[in-house]
Amino acid sequence: MPDQRELRADCANCFALCCVAPAFAASVDFAIDKGAGRPCPNLRADFRCGIHADLRDKGFRGCTVYDCFGAGQKVSRHTFGGRDWRADPGSARRMFAVFPIMRDLHELLWYLTEALALPSTRPLADRIDGKRREIERLTEGDPDALLKVDVAAWRHEVNTLLSHVGELARAGTPGHDHRGADLMGRDLRRRDLRGANLRGALLIGADLRNADLDRADLTGADLRDADVRGADLSTSLFLTQAQLDAARGDTRTHLPTARVRPAHWPGAGPRLSDRHRISEPE
């Protein structure tokens, strides 16, 4: 089974690419405007965030729910061989252009690796692993090769395959099809959502307290501010850490074993990625 540890953000081995490459606009998620390729004013000289412990309080909630799936350290340490954009400003523009491509490829790798772990996907295991290996080879390319990758085409291929995976995993459950549905703010308390197809559904601010989401497919579902207190997410399909970080839960929320209870949830401990951010680079 592929090792997912390489698909987790290790901020201590990244040149803070997520703090520089993307643009963001002043909103409920970000306190300021920042242009693409411009360092966030909170970024320190050592590539650490100067307000990391207070991001939510200072209006940078968007930073706390971002996940690069390990693309940051891959671009920093492998693609560019440890040359950082401050010491080598000539590489900065290409590094910032490669980063979102690598991030998308790593996200696809994460989904495919999750799919391989599902017992119900054995009939598709060879196809899943073959696609995973193809994308993994792309991530090993040099900057020029990566800049030529058609991410949209690869995303379409993987999404088609994952749709089949979801159908197999949900077989035998009473789930309904809510793909792309607008469920913002909906009262879904105690709902039986077992096997529901919620791919790409808008669940912003939805009340999912004590809902049963056994084998519900949450691929790309928007869970910002969704209330999942007491909800059973332990066997939900393709639930990312970023989706959990964007939601509101508590100690009664049942999580998959590979996920971490977000630090801002009541009763939660420090997140693994928080420890990464404050550790010394190797």
pLDDT in tens, 14-46: 999 999 999 999 999 999 999 999 999 999 999
Q: Greater confidence, 235 or 258?
A: 235
114 and 191 inside one domain: no
pLDDT at 215 over 70: yes
Q: Does 272 reside within a domain?
A: no
Q: Does 231 reside within a domain?
A: yes
* Mean pLDDT confidence for 119-129: 94
Q: How many CB atoms lie within 10 A of CB 275?
A: 11
DSSP 193-250: -TT-B-TT-B-TT-B-TT-B-TT-B-TT-B-TT-B-TT-B-TT-BT--HHHHHHSB--
34 and 124 inside one domain: yes
Amino acid 31 reads A
Helix axes 92-116, 151-170, angle to 10 degrees: 20
Which of 87, 85, 116 is CA-nearest to residue 7? 116
Q: Residue 10: pLDDT band by 50, 70, 90 thresholds?
A: very high
Q: Does 138 reside within a domain?
A: yes
75 and 104 inside one domain: yes
User: Degrees (nearest 5) of the Cα angle 73, 77, 82?
Assistant: 130
Q: Does 276 reside within a domain?
A: no
Expressed as residue numbers, the domain containing 242 is 174-260
CATH code: domain of residue 247? 2.160.20.80
14 and 88 inside one domain: yes
pLDDT at 4 over 70: yes
Q: Does 282 reside within a domain?
A: no
pTM of the predicted protein model: 0.91
Which of 195, 196, 172, 165 is CA-nearest to residue 183? 196
110 and 223 inside one domain: no
Helix axes 125-139, 151-170, angle to 10 degrees: 150
Q: Which bin fits 25, alpha (ψ -120 to 50), beta or left (φ > 0)?
A: beta
Q: Which residues contact 125 (CB under 8 A, 6 or more apart)?
A: 116
pLDDT at 2 over 90: no
184 and 231 inside one domain: yes
Q: Greater confidence, 282 or 54?
A: 54
Average pLDDT, the chain: 92
156 and 187 inside one domain: no
Chain-centre distance for alpha carbon 182: 21
How far apart are the C-alpha atoms of 133 and 248, rounded to whole Å? Answer: 35
Q: Please answer whether residues 135 and 154 qualify as being in contact, where contact means their C-beta atoms are separated by less than 8 angstroms.
A: yes
Q: Greater confidence, 271 or 232?
A: 232
Domain boundary residue among 170, 201, 221? 170
Which position has the token pair 């990758």?
149
78 and 135 inside one domain: yes
166 and 243 inside one domain: no
163 and 191 inside one domain: no
Domain boundary residue among 128, 152, 170? 170
Q: Which residues contact 179 (CB under 8 A, 6 or more apart)?
A: 197, 198, 199, 200, 201
188 and 65 inside one domain: no
Q: Please answer whether residues 39 and 20 qualify as being in contact, where contact means their C-beta atoms are separated by less than 8 angstroms.
A: yes
Q: Does 267 reside within a domain?
A: no
Domain count for the chain: 2
Q: Does 55 reside within a domain?
A: yes
31 and 66 inside one domain: yes
Q: Does 127 reside within a domain?
A: yes
* Mean pLDDT confidence for 157-180: 93
How far apart are the C-alpha atoms of 78 and 63, rounded to whole Å? Answer: 24
